[in-house]
């Protein structure tokens, strides 16, 4: 058996941040291919029919052509064990996407090189700043006509405020895409078309001055030499510390579809990305090598698999070792629970984990007792911090079809908000219930679940709300004055925290200016 620190040192736990259609799914598939978790690419999307029993839930997924289920995939690469956490990105984009980023140690940013920096990427990068997460960047779709690489990096630097260091440099683009020059290895790696579904044999020419390059690249050889000379003078140098502080990102060019360049990024993760990091709790810092088990729940997923009609709580292991059958303490409830059937998610299949270490994710069966942010330990009373709620971006008023079911509705909504599906706000000055979400699909999910799980029929009405901010103030008197003055805009969330509900962004800005002593937060800790 390998030692605990060896296990931990080998782990890399990351997620992909990107705008829809930039190529996240395609690159995930290629990552799994390199991790030998897939025999042949092309099998992640489009589950074989008949593989799962059908349910309304699955129908809903099918109708919309999207997957509500998200997963964690573990695969080996070189001497590392990679944990890739999926971040829902299309209509299934939700607060879970944000919260998943609090459970990783690094991120891969995928950019569509024809488009550049797009808004979802900006939002997700904002979230990674909460923990100064190290970011590696993949400029995708080089087999298409892309924008000027320098311009792309400038855009990343300007908009995302992170320094770019090219590690590979593209030679041509679109139909003329020849491959990349690896600046650190001083070698040209040639691209071959039509080999996207396999791991290609490496075709490498060493040395920028090698005359073989002129033979093979023609006019591109000198052009490349000129570009590299310019880059060497102008570009930042790779600095591991700045990378680990989230201030600098190594940039790789390639095509996910052509499975070219993906392995260069994976090498980057193995060589530079941090092993599982220490984590803060309300009591002390927890180091991954500590022998005692600890971890926190960052996501709860309902009805993942209709064959197992339960909820799964995703727990990030922070220290110690999980072993099947061990007893751990559910700190909030002060109760010991025996975990005999935690799950891991290898390439989409649920399998039983025998053991897990810091950096790994395990799935716990949850019958309604686990909430997002819950800590589990070997016995110590402490609570991990940094697993917040994020201010919703979309709001609707929810109305009951049967007014006698108000209690069930409130109960259902509060439970669903504890799972992180949506947030619920109860205005101080009315009996309305406002539902807030980060992604639009969540609204439908909630109505569907209210009906099937809580027997409550509800519908939405539009409401004029632009954003919400949690508010606090050190001075209780000032807070009271603020509450009296702004009562119509204040509400309590599912956990009874006070939140300001702003009809417009301008209103929020004006209120913040008018009440400088009040603090407005975009996130709330559990």
Q: Which of residues 217-276 bind ligand GDP (CB under 6 A)?
A: 255-258
Residue 118 or 305 having the CB closest to ligand GDP: 118
Give the bridge partners for 490, in sequence order. Answer: 500
| 398 part of the interface to ligand GDP, by CB under 6 A | no
Residue closer to ligand GDP (CB basis): 81 or 124: 124
Contacts of 166 (CB under 8 A, 6+ apart): 149, 153, 183, 231, 235, 250, 251, 253
Q: Identify which of 78, 96, 77 has the alpha carbon closest to the alpha carbon of residue 87.
A: 96
Which lies closer to ligand GDP via its Cβ, residue 17 or residue 235? 17
Q: Does 143 bind ligand GDP (CB under 6 A)?
A: yes
Q: In what order do the strands lie in the sheet with 179-182?
A: 168-171, 179-182, 187-190, 204-206
Which residues does 40 contact at the CB level (< 8 Å), separation at least 6? Answer: 33, 197, 198
d(CA 252, CA 97): 24
Cα–Cα distance measured from residue 127 to residue 121, given in angstroms and rounded to the nearest whole number: 10
86 annotated to a ligand binding site: yes
The response to whether 19 counts as a known ligand-binding position is yes
Closer by beta carbon to ligand GDP, 92 or else 289: 92
Selection from 205, 148, 196, 202 nearest residue 174 by Cα: 148
Stretch that binds ligand GDP, among 13-21, 162-170, 275-283, 376-384 (CB under 6 A): 13-21
Instruction: Provide the minimum distance between the beta carbon of 52 and ligand GDP in the complex, in angstroms, as a whole number.
Output: 21
Tell me if 25 contacts ligand GDP by CB under 6 A.
Answer: yes
List 22, 111, 165, 286, residue binding ligand GDP (CB under 6 A): 22
CB closer to ligand GDP out of 20 and 218: 20
How does 280-290 read in b/e, with b if 16+ C-beta sit within 10 Å? ebeeeebebbb
Residue 255 beta carbon to ligand GDP: minimum distance, rounded to whole angstroms: 3
Question: Is residue 116 near ligand GDP by the rule CB under 6 A?
Answer: no
Size of the site for ligand GDP (CB under 6 A): 17
Check binding of 21 to ligand GDP (CB under 6 A).
yes
> 89: annotated binding-site residue?
yes
> Cβ distance 63 to 55 under 8 Å?
no
Tell me if 144 contacts ligand GDP by CB under 6 A. yes
The CA distance from 389 to 23, in Å, is 27
Task: Please give the structure tokens belonging to residue 214.
Answer: 């002129």
170: contact with ligand GDP by CB under 6 A: no
Rounded to whole angstroms, how far apart are CA atoms 454 and 291?
Answer: 42
Which residue, 28 or 301, is less far from ligand GDP as judged by CB? 28
Smallest gap from Cβ 253 to ligand GDP, in A, equals 10
141 binds ligand GDP (CB under 6 A): yes
Among 89, 116, 166, 288, binds ligand GDP (CB under 6 A): 89
Helix, strand, coil % in the chain, rounded to nearest 5: 30, 30, 40
383 annotated ligand-binding residue: no
What is the 3-state secondary structure of 187-255? EEEECCCCCCCCCCCCCEEECCCCHHHHHHHCHHHHHHHHHHHHHHHHCCCCCHHHHHCCCEEEEEECE
Among 140, 249, 281, 489, binds ligand GDP (CB under 6 A): 140
| Token reading at 378 | 């070997």
- Give me the least distance between CB of 142 and ligand GDP, in Å please: 7
Q: Which of 23, 149, 276, 373 binds ligand GDP (CB under 6 A)?
A: 23
Residue 24 touching ligand GDP (CB under 6 A): yes
Shortest Cβ 19–ligand GDP spacing (Å):
7
Q: Which stretch binds ligand GDP (CB under 6 A): 17-25, 71-79, 198-206, 383-391?
A: 17-25
Residue 22 C-beta: closest distance to ligand GDP, Å: 5
Q: Write phi, then psi, for 15 (nearest 5 degrees).
A: -130, 165
Q: What is the CA radius of gyration of the chain?
A: 25
Establish if 26 lies at the interface with ligand GDP (CB under 6 A): yes
Residue 20 touching ligand GDP (CB under 6 A):
yes
- Residue 147, sorted as left (phi over 0), alpha (psi -120 to 50) or beta, turns out to be beta
Residues in contact with ligand GDP by the rule CB under 6 A:
18, 20-26, 89, 140-141, 143-144, 255-258
Residues of the binding site: 18-25, 86-90, 140-143
Residues of the binding site for GTP: 18-25, 86-90, 140-143
């Amino acid at each position: 058996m390998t030692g605990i620190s060896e296990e931990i040192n080998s782990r890399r736990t990351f997620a992909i941040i990107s705008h829809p259609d930039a190529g996240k799914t395609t690159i995930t598939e290629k990552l799994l291919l390199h991790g030998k978790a897939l025999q042949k690419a092309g099998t992640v999307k489009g589950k074989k029919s008949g593989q799962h029993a059908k349910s309304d839930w699955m129908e809903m997924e099918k109708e919309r052509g999207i997957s509500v289920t998200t997963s964690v995939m573990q695969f080996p690469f070189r001497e590392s064990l990679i944990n890739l956490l999926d971040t829902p990105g299309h209509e299934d984009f939700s607060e879970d996407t944000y919260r998943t980023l609090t459970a990783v140690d690094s991120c891969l940013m995928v950019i569509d090189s024809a488009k550049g920096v797009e808004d979802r990427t900006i939002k997700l990068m904002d979230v990674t700043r909460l923990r100064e997460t190290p970011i590696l960047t993949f400029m995708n779709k080089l087999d298409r006509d892309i924008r000027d690489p320098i311009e792309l990096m400038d855009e990343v630097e300007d908009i995302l405020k992170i320094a770019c260091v090219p590690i590979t440099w593209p030679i041509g683009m679109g139909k003329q895409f020849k491959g990349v020059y690896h600046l650190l290895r001083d070698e040209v790696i040639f691209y071959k078309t039509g080999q996207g579904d396999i791991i290609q044999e490496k075709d490498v020419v060493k040395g920028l001055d090698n005359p073989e390059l002129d033979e093979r690249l023609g006019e591109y050889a000198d052009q490349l030499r000129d570009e590299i000379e310019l880059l060497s003078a102008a570009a930042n140098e790779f600095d591991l510390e700045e990378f680990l502080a989230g201030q600098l990102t190594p940039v790789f060019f390639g095509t996910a579809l052509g499975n070219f360049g993906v392995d260069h990024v994976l090498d980057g993760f193995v060589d530079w990305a941090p092993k599982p990091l220490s984590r803060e709790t309300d009591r002390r810092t927890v180091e991954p090598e500590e022998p005692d088990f600890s971890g926190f729940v960052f996501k709860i997923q309902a009805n993942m698999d209709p064959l197992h009609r339960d909820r799964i709580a995703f727990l990030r292991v922070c220290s110690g070792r999980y072993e099947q059958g061990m007893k751990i303490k559910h700190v909030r409830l002060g109760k010991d629970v025996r975990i005999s059937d935690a799950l891991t998610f290898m390439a989409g299949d649920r399998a039983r984990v025998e053991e897990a270490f810091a950096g790994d994710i395990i799935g716990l069966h949850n019958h309604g007792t686990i909430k997002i942010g819950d800590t589990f330990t070997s016995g110590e009373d402490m609570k991990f911090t940094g697993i917040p709620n994020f201010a919703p971006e979309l709001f609707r008023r929810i109305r009951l079809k049967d007014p006698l079911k108000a209690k069930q509705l409130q109960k259902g909504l509060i439970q669903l908000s504890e799972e992180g599906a949506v947030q619920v706000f109860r205005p101080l000055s009315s009996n309305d219930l406002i539902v807030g979400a980060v992604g639009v699909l969540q609204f439908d999910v909630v109505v569907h679940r209210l009906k099937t799980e809580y027997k409550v029929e509800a519908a939405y009405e539009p409401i004029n709300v632009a954003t919400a901010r949690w508010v606090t103030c050190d001075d209780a008197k000032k807070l009271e004055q603020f509450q009296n003055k702004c009562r119509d805009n204040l509400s309590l969330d599912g956990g009874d925290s006070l939140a300001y509900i702003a009809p417009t962004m301008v209103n929020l800005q004006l209120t913040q200016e008018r009440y400088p002593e009040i603090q407005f937060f975009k996130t709330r800790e559990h």
